[in-house]
Amino acid sequence: MTPEKTILVIGTYDTKDDELGFLTDVIREQGGCVVTMDVSVLGDPSNPTDYSKHDVAEAGGSSIQAAIDAGDENHAMQIMANGASLLAARLYKEGAFDGMIALGGSMGTDLALDVAAALPLGVPKYIVSTVSFSPLIPAERLAADTQMILWAGGLYGLNSVCKASLSQAAGAVLGAARAVQAPNPDKPLIGMTSLGTSALKYVVPLKPALEARGFEVAVFHATGMGGRAFESLAGQGAFACVFDFCTQELGNHVHGSNVSAGADRLTNAGAAGTPQIVAPGCYDLVDVVGWQDIDPKWDAHLKHAHNRLITSIVLEAEETKQVARAHCQQLAMAKSPTALILPERGLGEWDREGADLHNPDGLAAFLSEVDAHMPDNVAGYRLPCHINDAAFAEKALEIFDTWRADGTITV
């Protein structure tokens, strides 16, 4: 028989003892095992936990007394977050648990995000929080496979409403630990960014071509959170090579959209030494939240309502120059081989002659600005084609195959 799964339960047992106990009981009732970790500072649990608050603080090179002496709850919780992250990572490496669940309000959520980020992709990570899905949580704090559950009615004490959330969360993390198929570390992975195939179609020829070469391909939806997951994994060195062909999120960030993957978009593969082939797909579109009032600064711009969630703003020529400079600035920091492919006839399906969002002036300004600021460490390739033409995918594969042959890409 397969051994039962063990779940690491994390929380402040001094203030949420009953709730954490209920969560633990449900996991055990479903046949799971539990390891408990207390991240309190001032109080103590009603019963000892497997890992005490003292164990947590000491794992980070500090102590509970230092947290108390800090005299500031934010500083104290950061001490505990550091210790909990390091301790959880060590315990997982030792095989002590199979999935993690943390419970908290804003303070506990802050800590839980750090713990989730410290665990590898494929480890079930559940955060039950009173601020789940809130704009308080920036994209860059979320690990690539974090799951969040809203802790409805859970601010203080047990009740039937919060029990409904907690019992679902207990079943979710245990079920995930039982069902998860972790990534295969023995198969080299390609990270690729894109939007849907109505806008960017290169995934259709490239994915099977790369798989035929013995690589696995993960395509990330570049609408903020997808780019964040891509950057997070790139920073961990998870990819043998990246095909970063939709960098629209960088333009979103430059122009103040909250559909952002963070300020480090287009940097983590280069920082990790991962070879990267880049193209600025949909560089001239800034996505904004479609159901909110659109900033008046976009009133005179061409717009495309993609659906009820996303509206795309088409940038004008001077605005595309800002995006071009941002691409060059980010790529200039790369420590890895970097190729930048620049199709001259459009960088999105809607940007073709005769199409609704055709933007020849914006593209000309963007390409000219890239030429003026191209970093010395980047190999540029201008192509007389559209990003969705076969010639684009063929050029990307040509660069990839050259890198494989000369040892730039190692697997």
* Residue 271 within any structural domain of the chain: yes
62 and 12 belong to one structural domain = yes
- Average pLDDT of adjacent 10-residue blocks, the chain of 411 residues: 86 95 97 97 94 98 94 92 98 98 94 96 94 83 89 86 94 96 88 93 97 96 90 92 97 92 94 98 94 92 89 96 98 98 96 91 98 98 97 98 96 77
Q: What is the domain range of residue 30?
A: 6-179
pLDDT given at position 327: 98
Residue 88 lies in a domain: yes
Q: Name the β-bridge partners of 241.
A: 190
Which residue, 160, 179, 198, sits at the end of a domain? 179
Task: Say how far apart CA 79 and CA 198 lie, in whole Å.
Answer: 47
In-domain check, residue 309: yes
Which amino acid type is present at position 302? L
Contact 14, 45 (CB under 8 A): yes
What pLDDT is attached to residue 203?
97
Same domain, 171 and 225: no
Query: Does 214 lie in the same domain as 193?
Result: yes
Nearest to 251 by CA among 207, 298, 315: 315
Cβ-based neighbours of 334, under 8 Å, separated by 6 or more: 267, 269, 270, 271, 276, 377, 378
Q: What CATH number did the domain enclosing 94 receive?
A: 3.40.50.12020
CA dist 299 → 24, 140, 295, 321, 350 (Å): 53, 30, 8, 20, 20
Count of CB atoms situated within 10 Å of the CB of 80: 27
Looking at the structure, tell me whether residues 264 and 144 fall in a common domain: no
- Domain containing residue 359: CATH number: 3.40.50.12030
- Number of domains into which the chain is organized: 2
Note whether 194 and 169 are same-domain residues: no
In angstroms, the Cα distances linking 286 to 3, 197, 373, 400, 401 are: 49, 18, 22, 29, 33
Residue 156 CA to residue 127 CA, distance in Å, equals 17
Closest CA to 269 of 225, 223, 237: 237
**Gap between the Cα atoms of 360 and 316, Å rounded:** 10
Per the domain annotation, does 184 fall within a domain? Answer: no
pTM: 0.86
Asked if 169 and 204 sit in the same domain, the reply is no
Q: For residues 296 and 147, give the distance between their C-alpha atoms in angstroms, rounded to a whole number.
A: 35
Q: What is the pLDDT of residue 152?
A: 85
- Residues 225, 137: Cα–Cα separation, whole Å: 12
Q: How far is residue 258 from each of residues 79, 184, 209, 249, 250, measured CA to CA in Å?
A: 30, 34, 35, 10, 11
- For residues 79 and 111, membership in a common domain is answered with yes
| Same domain, residue pair 237 and 307 | yes
The enclosing H or E element of 305 equals strand 303-305
- Distance, in Å, from the CA atom of 184 to the CA atom of 120, rounded to the nearest integer, reads 12
pLDDT of residue 72: 87
- The domain boundary, picked from 179, 209, 237, lies at 179
411 part of a folded domain: no
Check whether residue 103 and residue 15 sit in a common domain.
yes
Tell me, yes or no, whether 210 and 295 share the same domain: yes
